Chains A and B, each alone.
Chain A
């Protein structure tokens, strides 16, 4: 089954404790992105990647890091999480072969930083 998976689905952590949210897709997509969703703000893009070793900042990159060492994986790293990073996070992927680059979303990760 073609899908984007994220782990963990739920995470409660404390300020300053480094964490990684994993994202993996099995569709051989070139493009991958991370978003955060907050009430009243919609989805905002954190980082995106056009291919392996190619990443760029979205609209809200502060406090986040990403890496793209393999085509299928695009982990989101919070080196020192803070309460304002409490949010719902989505990973998405899309194919370079499609002009419209339809995005396929993961199920979301609910992160709470205390």
Chain B
């Protein structure tokens, strides 16, 4: 069984500053994938970044990067140069390799202060 925990229900950041959203997970699989999704007020689910567990290098996508600590089962998301459009709910998710059973965390609501 997989579990995904997001311990920060809400966070805020000043525009142009950096913020880190936390995510811890637990899985018995050796092969798995981790994801961060963004859900703006429109409710659309948007993939922000993905990480393959077998890759040691942390994934980056423009202003978004992750800190993947495999031994600690931690997968935090860093948003640099925060913009007003980053305000949204962010979900962390885990999926074992070769399977389609996906587990999401409970989400972190990010507020960006102008």
Residues of A within 8 A of B (CB): 31, 33, 35, 40-45, 48-50, 56, 58-59, 88, 90, 92, 94, 99-103, 105, 107-108
Binds A, one of B12-20, B73-81, B95-103: B95-103
User: Within 8 Å of chain A (Cβ to Cβ): is B104?
Assistant: yes
**Is B106 a contact of A42 with CB atoms below 8 Å?**
yes
B-side binding surface: helix, strand, loop or mixed?
loop
Give 1 or 0 for each of B31-51: 1 = CB within 8 Å of chain A CB.
Answer: 001000000000111010010
**Is A101 a contact of B104 with CB atoms below 8 Å?**
no
Most buried by A among B4, B9, B47: B47
Q: Can you list 20 A-B pairs with a CB-CB distance of less than 8 A?
A: A31-B100, A35-B104, A40-B106, A41-B106, A42-B6, A42-B91, A42-B106, A43-B91, A45-B102, A45-B103, A48-B100, A49-B100, A56-B101, A59-B101, A59-B103, A90-B45, A92-B45, A100-B33, A102-B47, A107-B43
**Is B107 a contact of A105 with CB atoms below 8 Å?**
no
- CB neighbours (8 Å) of B103 from chain A are 45, 59
The number of chain B residues with a CB under 8 A from chain A is 22
| A11 CA to B26 CA, complexed, in Å | 36
Query: Which listed residue, B4, B43, B91, B100, touches A101 by the CB 8 Å rule?
Result: B100
Closest Cβ of chain A to B16, distance in Å, is: 29
Question: Given A40-B106, A101-B33, do A48 and B101 touch, yes or no (CB 8 Å)?
Answer: yes
- CB neighbours (8 Å) of B101 from chain A are 45, 48, 56, 58-59
